Amino acid sequence: MKLPSLNMQILLGALSGVGMGLWLAGMGPSSAATQHGLYAAGLIGTVFIDLLKMILVPLVFTSIAVGVANLRAHRQMHRVWLATLGFFVFSMAVAIVLGLTAINWFEPGKGLNLALFHDAMQNFEAKQMTLGEFAQGFLHGLFVNPFAALAQGNVLAIVIFALFVGIALVAGGERYRNILALLQEGLELTLRIVGWIMRLAPLGIMALLVKLVATQDAALLATLGKFVVVIIGTTLLHGAVLLPLILYLVTGVTPLKFWRGAREALVTAFATSSSSATLPVTLRCVEQHLHVKPEIAGFVVPLGATINMDGTALYEAAAALFVANLAGIDLNLMQQLIVFFTAMLGAIGAPGIPSAGMVTMVMVLQSVGLPAEAIAILLPIDRVLDAFRTAVNVEGDMVGSLVVQKLVRAAA
């Protein structure tokens, strides 16, 4: 019997994961079926994520170094840079404006009297972290001993070092052809391993979704219902309407065609809540299904996975406004502008791991004098929201690589 395509298997895995999760949730947490089911799902899901993380570091390093080095042939390096950073900033700005507008419009925090919030506020002590301090910490984290960065899986620092290596390879030209060839073969080898890991993806995604759905506390989601709906709604609006529209206007790629090529990565991002863990899949989709040239994809996608996070930017801005709503504070235009910038920095600074946005969120709150403790209300509902925003984060990287490819070609 011929198996359905991997793409189809992943979709089927995701759907059955959600179905089984709902079924287990219905059985109640103490039933033997739920306990055994969750144990098995936890085991398989963890192994799948571990495998992705295992291959992540060699993949990021080789793909960026080779990507940058190969741009040399096109004499387009600076255009790719400009287009990439320009697109990242632009799409995150659109996402933040969308998030701010939605919360201003729907005011989901008004009239909500949460005991949880008051508790959180009670032991509020102003820990100050200014924008300056955040920027300093961020800069400090960029340049790290590459061996330590590789060993610790510090993706941002690896990206930076790989950029240096790539640029040095370009500058040195022929002199380093052996090192370039070695890296190129290393990249091929890594991608081959990614291909093997992907065979496990349908099962891994199913397991992760069983766990996500079965262990989410529905009552908690309902308490913050309006906020949850507004966030998921705007995140989907950005991901299903705005990004595809930008993509279509710039490149002519239709939403359907994009979805077909991108869905493996979107579903993986949703299930893992981690842009970094999804990176091997994203890169595969972009190169193999969406036909972005490896030198562009190898540069845009790993960089995007670390710094381009539309969903996170949208969420951080919206959540800050929501917290202000809850506290009965109206943020004026100037303060909302501060939220705009800190949310962008927060999204850039957040590593692509689950709930990372929650950590940088603290800075956004504090930049306009809101208590960091308010995170206590947001954390328990974060698993579900994180799944949506991570999918949009990854989508932004894929759209970005297509847009950059088009812009660079058009200018050539």
Please write down the long-range contacts of 115-118, taking CB distance under 8 Å and 24 or more positions apart. 116/376, 116/377, 117/326, 117/327, 117/374, 117/377
- By beta-carbon proximity to ligand ASP, the closer residue of 37 and 204 is 204
Residue 63 found at the interface with ligand ASP (CB under 6 A): no
The answer to the question of residue 367 lying near ligand ASP (CB under 6 A) is no
Tally of CB atoms within 10 A around 174: 6
Residue 386 sits in the site that holds ligand ASP (CB under 6 A): yes
Residue nearest to ligand ASP (CB): 357
Distances (CA, A) of 345 to 58, 62, 209, 339: 27, 27, 30, 10
**Contact flag: residue 389 with ligand ASP (CB under 6 A):** yes
Nearer to ligand ASP, 138 or 176 (CB): 138
Shortest distance, CB of residue 344 to ligand ASP, whole angstroms? 13
Q: Largest Cα–Cα distance in the chain?
A: 68
Q: Is 306 in the site for ligand ASP (CB under 6 A)?
A: no
Nearer to ligand ASP among residue 251 and residue 274 (C-beta): 274
Residue count, binding to ligand ASP (CB under 6 A): 16
Token pair of 8 as six digits: 């189809």
357 binds ligand ASP (CB under 6 A): yes
Minimum distance from residue 387 beta carbon to ligand ASP (Å): 8
**390 near ligand ASP (CB under 6 A):** yes
CA angle 189, 193, 198 (to 5 degrees): 145
User: Taking CB under 6 A as the rule, does residue 282 contact ligand ASP?
Assistant: no
Least distance to ligand ASP, CB of residue 75, Å:
33
> CA 132 → CA 34, 137, 139, 255, 339, distances in Å?
48, 9, 11, 40, 14
Distances (CA, A) of 289 to 257, 281, 296: 9, 11, 14
Taking CB under 6 A as the rule, does residue 268 contact ligand ASP? no
Q: Which candidate, 194, 191, 166, places its Cα nearest to that of 179?
A: 166
280 contacts ligand ASP (rule: CB under 6 A): no
Indicate whether 235 belongs to the interface with ligand ASP (CB under 6 A). Answer: no
| 279 belongs to the binding site for ligand ASP (CB under 6 A) | no
Q: Which of 41, 157, 356, 408 binds ligand ASP (CB under 6 A)?
A: 356
Q: Which residues lie below 8 Å from residue 179, measured CB to CB, with a gap of 6+?
A: 169
Q: Which of 273, 282, 306, 401 binds ligand ASP (CB under 6 A)?
A: 273
- The residue to which tokens 């981690």 are assigned: 274
Find the part of the chain contacting ligand ASP (CB under 6 A) among 46-54, 245-253, 270-278, 294-302: 270-278
What is the nearest approach in angstroms of ligand ASP to the Cβ of residue 350?
5
Structure tokens at 145: 């001993």
The residue behind tokens 């609006």 is 237
Q: Among 303, 292, 286, 281, which Cα is nearest to 352's?
A: 303
Site for ligand ASP in 334-353 (CB under 6 A): 350, 352-353
Choose among 125, 268, 302: nearest CA to 198: 268
Q: Which C-beta is closer to ligand ASP: that of 345 or that of 353?
A: 353
Residue 309 contacts ligand ASP per CB under 6 A: yes
Q: Are 276 and 353 in contact (CB under 8 A)?
A: yes
Q: Does 355 bind ligand ASP (CB under 6 A)?
A: yes
Q: Does 274 bind ligand ASP (CB under 6 A)?
A: yes
Cβ atoms of residues 198 and 281 within 8 Å: yes
> 204-216 as b/e, with b when 16 or more CB fall inside 10 Å?
bbbbbbbbbbbbb
Minimum distance of ligand ASP from residue 274's CB (angstroms): 4
Question: Which residues in 105-144 contact ligand ASP (CB under 6 A)?
Answer: none
Among 275, 282, 366, 405, binds ligand ASP (CB under 6 A): 275
Q: Which stretches of the chain bind ligand ASP, using CB under 6 A?
A: 273-275, 309, 312, 350, 352-357, 386, 389-390, 393
